[in-house]
Amino acid sequence: MDSILLDIFGLVAGTVTSIGFIPQIARGYKTKKLDDVSYYMPTILAVGMTLWFIYGVFSNAIAIMAANAFGVGCCLTLIIMKKMYSL
């Protein structure tokens, strides 16, 4: 498969999976409640995605880096929102 086509495929896959965070973040922002979100889930995901990001850096795989950087950002957003709204 062509390298550019493979990169596009990876970016689309990363975009689709990363979009999964958006409804939870939007709902949390709207309701100001994240009681049903555990601290463990986004924390564990952020650690795993950080490791994937590092793998992407060493593999020079832009799709892996982009998707996981976005995912880590979403996980951190959920953690921060949960902390802020539970005060």
Q: Decide: helix, strand or coil at residue 33.
A: coil
Q: Tell me the per-residue pLDDT of 11-28, one tens digit each, with 9 for 90 and over.
A: 999 899 989 999 999 999
Domain range for 31 is 3-85
Q: Tell me the per-residue pLDDT of 42-70, one tens digit each, with 9 for 90 and over.
A: 999 999 999 999 999 999 999 999 999 99
Pairwise CA distance, residues 25 & 67, whole Å: 17
| Domain tally, the chain | 1
- Identify the band that residue 7 occupies on the pLDDT scale cut at 50, 70 and 90: confident
Measured between its terminal Cα atoms, the distance across the chain in Å is 51
Candidates 70, 66, 14; CA nearest to 78 is 70
pTM passes above 0.85: yes
- Identify the band that residue 3 occupies on the pLDDT scale cut at 50, 70 and 90: confident
Non-local (6+) Cβ contacts of 86 within 8 A are: 34, 35
Our measurement of the distance from residue 23's CA atom to the centroid of its chain's CA atoms, rounded to an integer in Å, reads 12
What CATH number should be reported for the domain holding residue 13? 1.20.1280.290
